[in-house]
Amino acid sequence: MTSTPTTRGGTRTPSKRRLSDVTKHLSMPSGIVAHGYPAVARQCRKMGVVHDDWQQALATAILAKRANGLYAAGVGGVTLSTCRQVGKTFTIGTIIFALCALSRGTKVLWTSHHGKTTDETFESLVALAQKPQIAPYIRKTPSGSGKQQIVFTNGSRILFGAREHGFGRGIPGVTVVVFDEAQILKAGALNDMVPALNTIKNPLVLLMGTPPDPKDPAEVFKARRRKALDIEQRRAKGEKVASNALYVEIGADDDPDPDDRRQWGKGNPSYPDRTPEASIERMRELLPDVAAFIREGLGVWDREVNGTRLITEPEWAATAVGIVPQEGVKAIGVAFNLDGTRVSVSGALKHADGIHTELIDARPLTESGIGPLADWLAERKDSVALFVISGRAGADALYLALRERKVSKRQIHLATTVEYTASCSMLHDAVRGRTVTHPKAPAGDMLDASIAVADKKQRGQNGAWGWVATTPDGDETPAEGISLALWGVRTTKRRPGRKRSVMTA
């Protein structure tokens, strides 16, 4: 740690900023023992390119290596979220120029979503390639549409193309892939291109983009961010977490004053030295609204799109049913939230063809709320095999209230943390395996809304996790309630109305 009290970015220009001085979120790959950057930096200097301090730090992280000599972020990839006009194309472009010059036959794919962005990037890198100290390394720069390339004298080449035009599929022998505009990238397009890397010993995949607009199909970008932030949080608590990916997010504070120059500096480490005030002002004028400026000009992710989901929309839709089964073994899951201010009640029914789950109700809980809830549950005790309750804040009180209402001990189960986390992964697995259903509901359904923002939150060291709502007003209890009900109906051996258990599993 340096002793300088550095405010991230800020208006002051420290003599040498480390990566963590300019990042808002940073998740490094583990196992770094060697560095690829010094050789790249030497090659860059020969080409007349000198990286700024934060660019050096970024390049060092990207090119860090493990003991086996492979890139530490080679498997999980590099993800970079920044504002516009920060120097991304320059930094990544010059690193790639050096890699191309250093090892003959390097093949790079540089894709953007839009054709227009691809053209702009190609032009700016061709301009760079024409600099007197770089030109001797370059053989040609063919520019026909769909054929844009920078070809090096040693046989290395960079191929440019737009994903919206289907560029990049099935190109063999690729060493490096750059996905620019990574906020517009569907999993399909990523999967189409990544196999090209499988036969390469030391591949590098870079995703770079700006925080997504709510309309952008940003699943890939969001999922990588979600994973990285989770790792970052766990490491902050002192947990040792292995990772094979690098995530770098540079951005101003949340909810920034869009005119505050300090925030401009935090959002863009090249301001004001490289990116002049005028470029940022221009961006502000060209972008449709302040929200877009905060995203694209300052690199800040929207709170609304901060929401992430583990169960994907297609997975959830595939398990929705119009006709609800009626006959079978029933369990009820009751989930209290952390502070006991909300509760949800859900049911699961094990029928001949599988298991059906439903949210019965989710609501805020007032002091008097346990009584009516217990009444409602106790009325159903003859038809329900098991009541599974979780959430320390309300579970004990509900247990007592049910016992007072003559619900038998054996019929009430207070889920332990281990059982609770098991129920959460059980729901996830069951949805993915299509062995559980839920009602097809109209827009605005509370269960759909909960699943839409419910994501993994690590609980403990061994990979166990529970549901967490990823938006400020999101509610995880419906997702938890159906998980508990599902777990209950799967594990109970009780059959209401029968004296002995007939179930074996």
Ligand X SMILES: Nc1ncnc2c1ncn2[C@@H]1O[C@H](COP(=O)(O)OP(=O)(O)OP(=O)(O)O)[C@@H](O)[C@H]1O
Residues of this chain that interact with Mg ion (CB under 5 A) are 89
* Residue 52 contact, options ligand X, Mg ion, none, Cβ 5-8 Å cut-off depending on partner type: ligand X
Task: Please give the sequence-ordered ranges of beta strands (E in DSSP) within 278-385, or none if there are none.
Answer: 320-321, 329-336, 342-351, 354-364
Q: Give the one residue of 37, 54, 71, 90 binding ligand X; rule: CB under 6 A.
A: 90
- 411, burial (CB in 10 Å: exposed 0-12, middle 13-18, buried 19+): middle
CB of residue 117 vs Mg ion: minimum separation in angstroms? 7
Quick check: 395 and 419 in contact, CB under 8 A? no
What is the per-residue DSSP string for 411-457? GEEE--HHHHHHHHHHHHHHHHTT-EEEE---TT-HHHHHHHHEEEE
- Give the x-and-dash track for 243-272 against ligand X (CB under 6 A): ---------------------------x--
| 87 lies in the binding site for ligand X (CB under 6 A) | yes
Helices (H), 162-309: 187-193, 219-236, 261-267, 277-286, 290-292
What is the per-residue DSSP string for 37-72? HHHHHHHHHHTT----HHHHHHHHHHTEE-TTSSBT
Of the listed pieces 48-56, 107-115, 298-306, 437-445, which binds ligand X according to CB under 6 A? 48-56
Nearest to 402 by CA among 367, 376, 363, 432: 376
Of the listed pieces 61-69, 81-89, 164-172, 408-416, which binds ligand X according to CB under 6 A? 81-89
Rounded Cα distance between 312 and 352, Å, is: 27
Rounded Cα distance between 438 and 446, Å, is: 12
Nearer to Mg ion by Cβ, of 293 and 487: the residue is: 293
* Residue 501 contact, options ligand X, Mg ion, none, Cβ 5-8 Å cut-off depending on partner type: none
Of the listed pieces 49-57, 159-167, 170-178, 409-417, which binds ligand X according to CB under 6 A? 49-57
Q: Give the one residue of 23, 85, 118, 319 binding ligand X; rule: CB under 6 A.
A: 85
Nearer to ligand X by Cβ, of 89 and 243: the residue is: 89
CB of residue 263 vs ligand X: minimum separation in angstroms? 18
- Phi, psi at residue 27, to the nearest 5°? -130, 110
Rounded Cα distance between 269 and 275, Å, is: 9
Nearer to ligand X by Cβ, of 87 and 478: the residue is: 87
Quick check: 122 and 143 in contact, CB under 8 A? yes
Of the listed pieces 86-94, 360-368, 396-404, 478-486, which binds ligand X according to CB under 6 A? 86-94
CB of residue 88 vs Mg ion: minimum separation in angstroms? 5
| 86 lies in the binding site for ligand X (CB under 6 A) | yes
Nearer to Mg ion by Cβ, of 121 and 491: the residue is: 121
Q: Which of residues 101-160 bind ligand X (CB under 6 A)?
A: 124
**How many residues of this chain interact with ligand X, rule: CB under 6 A?**
13
Nearer to ligand X by Cβ, of 274 and 381: the residue is: 274
Pairing state of beta strands 342-351 and 77-81? unpaired
| 89 lies in the binding site for ligand X (CB under 6 A) | yes
Rounded Cα distance between 246 and 25, Å, is: 11
- Give the x-and-dash track for 310-339 against ligand X (CB under 6 A): ------------------------------
| 37 lies in the binding site for ligand X (CB under 6 A) | no
| 17 lies in the binding site for ligand X (CB under 6 A) | no
Of the listed pieces 1-9, 83-91, 325-333, 416-424, which binds ligand X according to CB under 6 A? 83-91
Quick check: 236 and 324 in contact, CB under 8 A? no
Quick check: 94 and 44 in contact, CB under 8 A? yes
Pairing state of beta strands 64-65 and 34-35? antiparallel
Pull the structure tokens for residue 461.
Answer: 């060291």
CB of residue 233 vs ligand X: minimum separation in angstroms? 28
- The residue ranges that bind ligand X (CB under 6 A) are 51-52, 55, 84-90, 124, 270, 274
